[in-house]
Amino acid sequence: MGKKIRVGIMAVMLFAGMAASALAADALNGKVSQVAGDKITVVLEGAVPDWVKAGATVTAGSAAPKIVSVKGNEVVLRFSKSKAARIKVDSTMSLEESSGDAMQGC
């Protein structure tokens, strides 16, 4: 019985890992170009998909910031002040489309 439970748990972990890597494939990479209070400007690499638009919520830097504006490949995000204070210019950042139903924070 214990062996069946371990195999089941390992299978769930394998599928969860595969799902996470599939979602990460849709991530956009960029570089922080400006930090102004709670607004962070990120210059994205490559083409910007349709889901990157003003007002949308994304997943970035272990948070769920809102997109303030998009100009070409430059995206301005609004973080909480405490999270924005930890972000540095020239650091890399990955943006992912937010599903909206994932829990954020503690």
pLDDT at 98: 82
Q: Is 81 left (phi over 0), alpha (psi -120 to 50) or beta?
A: alpha
End-to-end CA distance of the chain: 34
Tens digits of residue pLDDT in 16-41: 655 554 444 478 999 999 999 999 99
The answer, yes or no, to whether residue 46 has pLDDT greater than 90, is no
58-76: per-residue pLDDT in tens?
A: 998 789 999 999 999 999 9
Is the whole model's pTM more than 0.85, yes or no?
A: no
